[in-house]
Amino acid sequence: MSNRLGAIQGEAKSLVSGQWGDRLSFINAVLLERLGMKQWMSKEESNFLRIVPPLTPDAYFGFKVHVHFNLGVGKDAFLCPRMMKKERCPACERQDELKKAGADEDVVKSLSCWPPRYLFFVIDKKNKETEAEGVQLYNAPNSINAEIIGLSKNKRTGELIDISDPEHGKLLVFDRKGKTSTNTRYSAFELQDDGPLDPALMEVPDFEELLIMPDLALMRHALGQTTEPAATDKPESERVPADQTRTRTRETTATPETVKAPDAEKKVDPPAAPKTETAQAPAAGRPSIDEIRAKAKARLAAAQAPKV
Ligand SMILES: [Zn+2]
C-alpha cells in the first residue's frame, strides 16, 4: 500500500473511532509513547480486559480525572484545576457565572467537567495479538467504572473482590455497541477467571506522571477570555507553549466514550482497596511489589530523560 493510502486509511479509522487529531489532551502522549504504552479503546464487539494494579498498594486501581472537553475552537481538553488540585479553574468559574446569569442550560453544561472519567492500566486479552501490545492506558467513561464497582462485590456475601489482584484477578468482559458520540452503549458486563499477571507487565508509572496539568493562560484563551494578552495576541500556530506542543497528537479527547452512558451520572465512590493476603506477600518466585516498583521507576526515569 502506498504511503498516502495508508494515511487515508488512518484518517478514516480515526474518524470512525471518533478521534480528531491536533487537539490538546490532558494525557502526556509523548511520555506514554516513550514508555511503549498505547491508549486502549473499546471496540464494537466483546472486550476482554485485565486491569493492572497501580504500584501504590492502598490506591484504587482506577484514577479519577475531571476533564473540561471541547474548549474553544481547538476543541481542546484540559484537566480541571478545581477538581484535581483545589485551585482556581477558569472553566468552572465561567460555568458558575453563566449559571448565575441564567444562561442556556446546554451552554452551561458544555463547560462541565462532570461526570469524571477513570484511567486504568489494562491488558487487552481478546487474543494473542492484542495481548502482545502489553499494558495500555484506558481512558474510560464513568459508566465503565460504575460497572466495575458493581462487579467488585459478591452479591451474596457482600465480600469485595479485587479484580486487579496480580494473582487472583479477573478479566473484565463487556460488549460495546455504537460508534458515534450519541449511540455508544456498553452492556453484558461480567468477570471471567484469568491467570496470574506477569510481573514484567506490572511495571507501570504513577497515573499522575502521565497527566498534563493545564496551562491556565491557554485555558483562558480557549474560553475566549482576553485577560492574558500574551496568550491571545499571537496567531494560533504560536500560542501553544512548548511543553504542550509536544502533546498535540491524535488523542482520545472526543472518543465516543466521552458520551455519557444512561447511568453515567450515577455517583460511585471507589471501594476501599480490598485487603488481600497476597498484597504484601507474593507467591514464591514472584518479585515483591517493592522490586517491581524500583523497576517501574527506572523505566519512567529513562522515558523522561531528554533524548540526545
Ligand atoms: Zn474546572
pLDDT in tens, 58-73: 899 999 999 999 998 8
Tell me whether strands 63-65 and 117-124 are parallel, antiparallel or unpaired. antiparallel
Backbone angles phi, psi at 70, to 5 degrees: 60, 40
What is the per-residue pLDDT for 57? 79
Please tell me the total number of residues recorded for the chain in this structure. 308
- CATH code linked to domain 20-66+114-212+247-304: 3.90.198
pLDDT of 282: 64
pLDDT at 308: 66
- Give the CA angle between residues 15, 19, 125 to the nearest 5°: 100
Distance 253 CA to ligand 1 centre (A): 16
What stretches in the chain show pLDDT beneath 50?
Answer: 1-2, 4-21, 228-267, 274-279
Pull the grid cell for residue 73.
Answer: 475552537
Region of residue 49 (phi > 0: left; psi between -120 and 50: alpha; otherwise: beta): beta
| Residue 229 CA to ligand 1 centre (angstroms) | 22
pLDDT of 280 reads 52
If you measure from the C-alpha of residue 116 to the centroid of ligand 1, how many angstroms do you get, rounded to a whole number? 11
The alpha carbon of 84 and the centre of ligand 1 are apart by a number of angstroms equal to 8
HSE, CB side, 13 Å, CA atoms: give it for residue 175: 5
Dihedral pair phi/psi, residue 274, rounded to 5°? -60, 140
User: What was the pLDDT predicted at 306?
Assistant: 83
Task: Give strand pairing partners of 120.
Answer: 138
Bridge partners (DSSP) listed for residue 48: 173
Determine the distance separating the centroid of ligand 1 and the alpha carbon of 211, expressed in angstroms.
15
Q: What are phi and psi of 218, to 5 degrees?
A: -65, -40
The CA 80 to ligand 1 mean position distance, Å, reads 4
Measured in angstroms, how far is the CA atom of residue 231 from the centroid of ligand 1?
19
Cα separation, 165 vs 150, in Å, equals 17
Q: Give distance in angstroms: CA of 91 to centre of ligand 1.
A: 5
pLDDT tens digits along 271-289: 555 444 444 556 678 899 9
Measure 86 CA to ligand 1 centroid, in angstroms: 9
What confidence tens digit (pLDDT) does each residue in 93-136 have? Answer: 999 999 999 999 999 999 999 999 999 999 999 999 999 999 99
Q: What is the whole-number distance in angstroms between the Cα of residue 58 and the centre of ligand 1?
A: 27
3-class SS at 190? strand
Residues 6+ apart with CB under 8 A from 211: 26, 27, 28, 65, 79
Distance between Cα 146 and ligand 1 center (Å): 22
CA of 276 to the centre of ligand 1 (A): 36
| Cα 266 to averaged position of ligand 1 atoms, centre (Å) | 20
The helix/strand/coil state of 5 is: helix
Q: What is the DSSP letter of 234?
A: S
Name the phi and psi angles at 195, rounded to 5.
-80, 180
CA of 257 to the centre of ligand 1 (A): 20
Q: How far is CA 147 from the centre of its chain?
A: 16
Distance 144 CA to ligand 1 centre (A): 22
| 82 Cα: distance to centroid of ligand 1 (angstroms) | 5
Rounded distance from Cα 100 to ligand 1 centre (Å): 16
User: How many whole angstroms from 113 Cα to the centroid of ligand 1?
Assistant: 6
pLDDT at 271: 54
Q: What are the cell numbers at 6?
A: 495508508
Distance between CA atoms of residues 168 and 2, nearest Å: 47
